[in-house]
Amino acid sequence: MTHTNTESTALDADVIIIGAGISGSAAAKALHDRGDRVLVVEANDRIGGRTWTEPEGAPGGPIDNGGMFIGETHTHLIELGTSLGLEMTPSGKPGADTYVVRGDVLRAPDEQLDPDISFVPEFLSSLEALDALAESVGWDRPWESPDAASLDSKTVATWLEETVESVEVRRLHALIVNAILGADPYEVSLLYWAYYVSECEGIQSLMGTRDGAQWAWWVGGAAQVSWRIADAIGREKVLLDWAVTRVEQDDSRVVVYSGQRSLRARHVIVAMSPLAANQIRFQPALPTARAQLQTRAPMGRYYKLQVRYPSTFWVDQGFSGALVDTDDVGVFLLDGTKPTDSLATLIGFVGGSNYDRWAVRTAEERQGAFIDLLIKAFGPEAAEPSYFHETDWTQQTWAQGGPVTYMPPGVLAHFGSALREPVGRIHFAGTEASFQWSGYMEGGVRAGQKAAAAIAEALQ
């Protein structure tokens, strides 16, 4: 609804959204569509947040430096994107997946490792055990689950030491945590990991491409969702290079500051990770639980690697392009080729302690190590890439890491309830605030739309 009274016209907007990523953009669209006056402020000089598409500058087609995956059950994202005129393309390629484990190159036709390989039965049973643990914790209010305190006192590494005998299986679990959270098992609370697996519909879903969380992507790049929303609400209502330093609220309004600049609104949505929100000074101070959450929940350490070739030669050899390497680089890799691209693409993710080892190398050493791994996995044709690109998310000033927040022991059970709770006229979004698919674009859209709905009710 549109507000026309004197109080409303004295404000710059009904709602100010801090963050022009997919979550803030989804919130802005929902409020704009019902007639509310919105402004979006963004610290970066670009729209998209943790979705970061470069439409030009990379040979072969647009390149996604950040979030890009659409899962088959990502209903809110799919509905939003298709309503904006975007098209999806499937991500999975036919052929065998590849595992590099303790020097051996193993193939997995139809995403299934040979059960006769010594460590495979224990690996499969450990995944089932993780899913059972995740189901017991749930995704709605994990801090209220029966064993929350006990699980939050342990790390994932402790659980692996207690339940897994095989070194190979422990390494595989470590790589899964590395690739999904950008952290190591010894850094992550077991309660948080169980919750994360639960809210993403199980570990097989999290790992899957052809029918899992990496099912598809947007033709032309993921940031188009936010770009098209900006066009719909009016680009003049999205203020870039507008880093928020302070937020003040009272009983009637909120004032948002960027240095000496200020804007006034009835409500504010903080659409970013807890760590990023911690760069803002709030007056009055946030409640203890929210303040502690923002201080104690770091972002992962993460490289996203992309290498392009003249053709998908790996598919011609019977390989899907999916690669799990626990030895050399410590990377999770998949085929990222889109039908509109003129070059074929392999995309890799390096996180946690693998990132730490990677970061101290020179750019040339990193590229060389990555190409050597691809030669080992897919043969000599991998030796001559057309293009190599890497994105270090720890070097992004405002994101401060990627791909998502993780929680060490002692955080989720004590302070997790503050993830989604508004503080007066301040509401929180960002993918971390979602009840389901936190860490994905879907979670960002859900959290943004939920915050918008809460404000819409308050504005009635």
The helix (run of H) or strand (run of E) holding residue 333 is: strand 331-335
pLDDT of 4 above 70: no
- What's the mean pLDDT in 112-137? 94
- What's the mean pLDDT in 143-148? 96
Identify the CA nearest to 203 among candidates 121, 123, 136, 130.
Answer: 130
Using DSSP, how many helices (H) and how many strands (E) does the chain show? Answer: 17, 19
- What's the mean pLDDT in 14-35? 99
Strands 38-41 and 13-18: parallel
- What's the mean pLDDT in 46-52? 98
Identify the CA nearest to 198 among candidates 139, 136, 149.
Answer: 139
Among 103-112, 113-122, 306-315, 414-423, whose mean pLDDT is lowest?
103-112
Q: Residue 15 and residue 19: Cα distance in Å, rounded?
A: 13
431 beta partners: none
Q: Which residues of 200-229 are buried (b: 16+ CB within 10 A; e: fewer)?
A: bbbbbbbbbbbebbbbbbbbbbbbbbbbbb
On whether 282 is known to bind a ligand per the annotation, the reply is no
Task: Give the model's pLDDT for residue 211.
Answer: 78
Identify the CA nearest to 122 among candidates 174, 152, 69, 167.
Answer: 167
Identify the CA nearest to 171 among candidates 331, 306, 304, 303.
Answer: 331
Query: Thinking of the domain 116-207, which architecture would CATH place it in?
Result: Orthogonal Bundle (1.10)
Categorize the per-residue pLDDT at 357 as very low, low, confident or very high, splitting at 50, 70 and 90: very high
Categorize the per-residue pLDDT at 94 as very low, low, confident or very high, splitting at 50, 70 and 90: confident
On whether 432 is known to bind a ligand per the annotation, the reply is yes
Cα end-to-end span (Å), the chain: 8
Identify the CA nearest to 374 among candidates 356, 347, 352, 354.
Answer: 347
Identify the CA nearest to 159 among candidates 138, 139, 189, 201.
Answer: 189
- What's the mean pLDDT in 282-286? 98
The average confidence (pLDDT) of the chain is 95
pLDDT of 294 above 50: yes
pLDDT of 2 above 50: no
Query: Is 226:234 a contact under the CB 8 Å cutoff?
Result: no
Task: Give the model's pLDDT for residue 32.
Answer: 98
Categorize the per-residue pLDDT at 1 as very low, low, confident or very high, splitting at 50, 70 and 90: very low
Residue 16 phi, psi (nearest 5): -110, 130
Q: Residue 333 and residue 136: Cα distance in Å, rounded?
A: 31
Domain boundaries along the sequence of the chain: 6-50+222-298+407-459, 53-72+88-93+212-218+299-395, 116-207
pLDDT of 176 above 60: yes
Does the N-terminal peptide bond of residue 284 adopt cis geometry, omega within 30 degrees of 0?
Answer: yes
On whether 201 is known to bind a ligand per the annotation, the reply is no
Categorize the per-residue pLDDT at 110 as very low, low, confident or very high, splitting at 50, 70 and 90: confident
Q: Does domain 53-72+88-93+212-218+299-395 have CATH number 3.30.70.1140?
A: no
Identify the CA nearest to 64 among candidates 226, 189, 266.
Answer: 226
- What's the mean pLDDT in 82-103? 92
Q: Residue 74 and residue 264: Cα distance in Å, rounded?
A: 34
pLDDT of 131 above 60: yes
Q: What's the CATH number of domain 6-50+222-298+407-459, 3.40.718.10, 3.50.50.60, 3.30.420.40, 3.80.30.20?
A: 3.50.50.60
pLDDT of 6 above 60: no
Task: Give the model's pLDDT for residue 9.
Answer: 55
- What's the mean pLDDT in 380-387? 97
Categorize the per-residue pLDDT at 93 as very low, low, confident or very high, splitting at 50, 70 and 90: confident
On whether 23 is known to bind a ligand per the annotation, the reply is yes
pLDDT of 7 above 60: no
Task: Give the model's pLDDT for residue 271.
Answer: 99
* Residues with Cβ within 8 Å of residue 235, at least 6 apart in sequence: none
